[in-house]
């Protein structure tokens, strides 16, 4: 394929239009499959090797990054991690386009961040027809266990996503959101500064406290 053809495909991908596996095959060199395998099989004590592998896998990596293996990524090179990131086991990045994660983000076990979906009509899924839209997770977000974040979603600063949620639309900053589909249940306020630190009679009754 010519450079002009590849640029045309990339433009369609950037617009969120349908493209096929064959059309996107020229991007295969950006997949970090071998490095991901190596990371997932690196002993816990080899912190420097793990760090060097993360730098080789991801598009950018902040300081003090913790990512517990195993993790999975379609490319790896389309993922950008901020400072003080913590990712628990079985984190999956479907990163056909960018996934950008800010500083101080915590992600619980078995979370999937998928930038890619497929058309509803089967005739449009020939040759793995698909569309992709970037995901943005802003600073200081906490995502609970078994959450799925779908294409094009932005999760705002400081927000919390409850365990088991399917996030199909963007979530505003400083809110607790949960459910399938994920919806905001309340704001995060200064009252939450005492939650779990000073026991009171109403602590067990607050909707959205048990999210992880």
Active site members: 118
3-state secondary structure of 26: helix
Nearest alpha carbon to residue 87 among 74, 68, 113, 102: 68
What is the rounded CA–CA span in Å between residue 95 and residue 143? 18
3-state secondary structure of 203: helix
Contact, 20 vs 10, CB < 8 A?
Answer: no
User: DSSP letter at 68?
Assistant: P
Contact, 75 vs 115, CB < 8 A?
Answer: no
């Amino acid at each position: 394929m010519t450079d002009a053809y590849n640029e045309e495909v990339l433009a369609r991908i950037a617009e969120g239009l349908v493209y096929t596996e064959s059309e996107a095959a020229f991007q295969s060199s950006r997949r970090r499959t071998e490095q991901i395998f190596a990371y997932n099989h690196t002993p816990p004590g080899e912190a420097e090797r793990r760090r060097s592998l993360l730098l080789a896998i991801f598009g950018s990596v902040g300081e003090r990054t913790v990512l517990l293996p195993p993790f999975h990524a379609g490319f790896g090179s389309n993922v950008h991690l901020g400072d003080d990131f913590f990712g628990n086991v079985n984190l999956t990045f479907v990163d056909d386009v960018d996934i950008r994660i800010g500083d101080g983000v915590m992600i619980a076990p078995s979370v999937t961040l998928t930038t890619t979906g497929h058309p509803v009509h089967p005739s449009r899924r020939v040759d793995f027809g698909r569309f992709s839209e970037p995901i943005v997770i802003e600073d200081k977000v906490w995502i609970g266990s078994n959450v799925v974040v779908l294409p094009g979603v932005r999760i705002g600063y400081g927000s919390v996503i409850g365990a088991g949620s399917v996030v199909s639309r963007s979530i505003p900053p400083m809110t607790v959101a949960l459910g399938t589909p994920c919806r905001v249940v309340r704001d995060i306020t200064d009252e939450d500064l005492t939650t779990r630190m000073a026991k009171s009679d109403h602590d067990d009754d607050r909707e959205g406290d048990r999210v992880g």
